[in-house]
Structure 1
Amino acid sequence: MAAILTSLTPSSGPATVFSSVVITGSGFSNVGPLSVRFGTTATTFTIDSDTQITAISPTGTGTVNVTVKVELNGISNSLPYTYV
Protein backbone atom coordinates (compact mmCIF):
# COMPACT_ATOMS: atom_id res chain seq x y z
CA MET A 1 0.00 0.00 0.00
CA ALA A 2 1.37 3.42 -0.96
CA ALA A 3 1.90 6.07 1.68
CA ILE A 4 -1.01 8.47 2.14
CA LEU A 5 -0.45 12.19 2.72
CA THR A 6 -3.07 14.20 4.63
CA SER A 7 -1.37 17.53 5.42
CA LEU A 8 1.75 19.70 5.17
CA THR A 9 2.66 22.10 7.98
CA PRO A 10 3.35 24.73 6.83
CA SER A 11 1.98 24.41 3.29
CA SER A 12 4.08 27.35 2.08
CA GLY A 13 7.55 28.68 2.74
CA PRO A 14 10.44 30.81 1.55
CA ALA A 15 11.70 30.34 -2.00
CA THR A 16 15.39 30.85 -1.23
CA VAL A 17 15.82 29.42 2.28
CA PHE A 18 15.57 25.80 3.40
CA SER A 19 12.82 25.24 5.97
CA SER A 20 11.26 22.34 7.88
CA VAL A 21 7.95 20.93 6.69
CA VAL A 22 6.01 18.34 8.68
CA ILE A 23 4.26 15.82 6.45
CA THR A 24 1.35 14.03 8.13
CA GLY A 25 -0.26 10.88 6.80
CA SER A 26 0.25 7.14 7.09
CA GLY A 27 2.43 4.30 5.87
CA PHE A 28 5.82 5.91 6.51
CA SER A 29 7.65 3.31 8.61
CA ASN A 30 8.75 -0.28 8.09
CA VAL A 31 8.14 -0.10 4.33
CA GLY A 32 11.66 -0.05 2.94
CA PRO A 33 13.49 2.95 1.50
CA LEU A 34 11.55 6.19 1.13
CA SER A 35 12.13 9.35 -0.84
CA VAL A 36 10.43 12.73 -0.41
CA ARG A 37 10.10 15.07 -3.37
CA PHE A 38 9.09 18.69 -3.72
CA GLY A 39 8.14 18.68 -7.39
CA THR A 40 11.00 16.82 -9.09
CA THR A 41 13.56 17.64 -6.38
CA ALA A 42 14.36 14.97 -3.79
CA THR A 43 15.11 16.29 -0.32
CA THR A 44 16.42 15.19 3.07
CA PHE A 45 13.95 14.05 5.69
CA THR A 46 13.50 12.22 8.99
CA ILE A 47 10.81 9.61 9.62
CA ASP A 48 9.37 10.66 12.98
CA SER A 49 6.72 7.91 13.13
CA ASP A 50 4.42 5.89 10.88
CA THR A 51 2.26 9.02 10.57
CA GLN A 52 4.82 11.86 10.44
CA ILE A 53 7.88 12.87 8.42
CA THR A 54 9.89 16.06 8.88
CA ALA A 55 11.35 17.16 5.54
CA ILE A 56 13.55 20.07 4.51
CA SER A 57 12.00 22.06 1.68
CA PRO A 58 14.50 22.70 -1.10
CA THR A 59 14.64 26.14 -2.69
CA GLY A 60 12.15 26.66 -5.50
CA THR A 61 9.44 28.81 -7.06
CA GLY A 62 5.70 28.65 -7.58
CA THR A 63 3.61 25.74 -6.33
CA VAL A 64 4.94 22.18 -6.44
CA ASN A 65 3.51 18.79 -5.54
CA VAL A 66 4.99 17.07 -2.50
CA THR A 67 5.07 13.26 -2.71
CA VAL A 68 6.50 10.34 -0.76
CA LYS A 69 7.75 7.35 -2.70
CA VAL A 70 7.97 3.97 -1.03
CA GLU A 71 10.27 1.68 -3.00
CA LEU A 72 8.00 -1.37 -2.75
CA ASN A 73 4.61 0.36 -2.71
CA GLY A 74 4.73 3.23 -5.19
CA ILE A 75 4.12 6.96 -4.92
CA SER A 76 1.71 8.64 -2.50
CA ASN A 77 -0.96 11.14 -3.39
CA SER A 78 0.41 14.67 -3.73
CA LEU A 79 -0.15 17.81 -1.68
CA PRO A 80 0.66 21.35 -2.89
CA TYR A 81 3.49 23.39 -1.37
CA THR A 82 3.79 27.05 -2.37
CA TYR A 83 7.02 29.05 -2.38
CA VAL A 84 6.54 32.67 -1.29
Structure 2
Amino acid sequence: MPTLTSVTPTSGPTAGGTTVTLTGTGFTGATAVRFGATPASFVVNSATQITATAPAGSGTVQVTVTGPGGTSNGV
Protein backbone atom coordinates (compact mmCIF):
# COMPACT_ATOMS: atom_id res chain seq x y z
CA MET A 1 0.00 0.00 0.00
CA PRO A 2 1.32 3.48 -0.80
CA THR A 3 2.47 5.66 2.08
CA LEU A 4 2.62 9.42 1.58
CA THR A 5 5.12 11.32 3.75
CA SER A 6 5.30 14.80 2.21
CA VAL A 7 3.73 17.14 -0.33
CA THR A 8 5.79 20.05 -1.71
CA PRO A 9 4.74 22.81 -2.04
CA THR A 10 1.97 22.69 0.55
CA SER A 11 -0.13 25.40 -1.09
CA GLY A 12 -0.77 27.04 -4.44
CA PRO A 13 -3.18 29.27 -6.34
CA THR A 14 -6.88 28.34 -6.40
CA ALA A 15 -6.71 28.21 -10.20
CA GLY A 16 -4.62 25.02 -9.91
CA GLY A 17 -1.78 24.09 -12.24
CA THR A 18 0.91 23.96 -9.55
CA THR A 19 3.42 21.15 -9.98
CA VAL A 20 3.50 19.23 -6.72
CA THR A 21 6.09 16.66 -5.64
CA LEU A 22 4.74 13.78 -3.53
CA THR A 23 7.25 11.79 -1.51
CA GLY A 24 6.69 8.45 0.20
CA THR A 25 6.89 4.73 -0.53
CA GLY A 26 5.05 2.13 -2.55
CA PHE A 27 4.19 4.40 -5.50
CA THR A 28 5.01 1.84 -8.21
CA GLY A 29 1.81 1.04 -10.09
CA ALA A 30 -0.07 4.06 -8.70
CA THR A 31 -3.44 4.44 -10.43
CA ALA A 32 -4.70 7.72 -8.97
CA VAL A 33 -3.66 10.86 -7.13
CA ARG A 34 -6.44 12.90 -5.55
CA PHE A 35 -6.52 16.36 -4.03
CA GLY A 36 -9.55 15.94 -1.80
CA ALA A 37 -12.15 14.27 -4.05
CA THR A 38 -10.65 15.72 -7.25
CA PRO A 39 -8.37 13.53 -9.38
CA ALA A 40 -5.09 15.02 -10.57
CA SER A 41 -2.83 14.27 -13.52
CA PHE A 42 0.41 12.68 -12.35
CA VAL A 43 3.61 10.90 -13.34
CA VAL A 44 5.24 8.21 -11.20
CA ASN A 45 8.94 9.14 -11.14
CA SER A 46 9.98 6.27 -8.89
CA ALA A 47 8.70 4.04 -6.10
CA THR A 48 9.26 7.00 -3.75
CA GLN A 49 8.28 10.06 -5.82
CA ILE A 50 5.32 11.26 -7.88
CA THR A 51 4.94 14.59 -9.69
CA ALA A 52 1.31 15.74 -9.86
CA THR A 53 -0.44 18.81 -11.20
CA ALA A 54 -2.78 20.32 -8.62
CA PRO A 55 -6.36 20.75 -9.86
CA ALA A 56 -8.31 23.97 -9.34
CA GLY A 57 -9.96 24.35 -5.94
CA SER A 58 -9.85 26.30 -2.75
CA GLY A 59 -9.12 25.56 0.85
CA THR A 60 -7.03 22.86 2.43
CA VAL A 61 -7.51 19.34 1.06
CA GLN A 62 -6.05 15.94 1.81
CA VAL A 63 -3.76 14.48 -0.88
CA THR A 64 -3.85 10.70 -1.39
CA VAL A 65 -2.23 8.15 -3.71
CA THR A 66 -4.06 4.99 -4.79
CA GLY A 67 -2.18 1.94 -5.99
CA PRO A 68 -2.58 -1.83 -6.27
CA GLY A 69 -2.36 -2.24 -2.46
CA GLY A 70 -4.96 0.41 -1.58
CA THR A 71 -5.04 4.12 -0.81
CA SER A 72 -2.36 5.95 1.14
CA ASN A 73 -2.70 7.91 4.29
CA GLY A 74 -3.58 11.49 3.51
CA VAL A 75 -1.16 14.37 3.82
TM-score normalised over the length of structure 1: 0.84
Query: After the TM superposition, which parts of structure 1 deviate over 3 Å for at least 4 consecutive aligned residues?
Result: none
Alignment partner of 2:41 out of 41, 44, 48: 44
Higher strand fraction (1 or 2): 1
CA RMSD of aligned residues (A): 1.0
**How many residues are treated as equivalent by the alignment?**
75
The residue type equivalent to 2:34 in the other structure is: R
Distance of 1:46 and 1:36 partners within structure 2: 10
Structure 1 gap segments, 5+ residues each: 80-84
Percent identity over the alignment is 49
Evaluate the alpha carbon distance shift between residue 25 and residue 66 of structure 1 in structure 2; reply closer, same or farther with a 3 A threshold: same
Alignment partner, residue 53 of structure 1: 50
TM-score normalised over the length of structure 2: 0.94
The residue type equivalent to 2:62 in the other structure is: N
Distance of 1:38 and 1:9 partners within structure 2: 13
Bigger radius of gyration, 1 or 2? 1
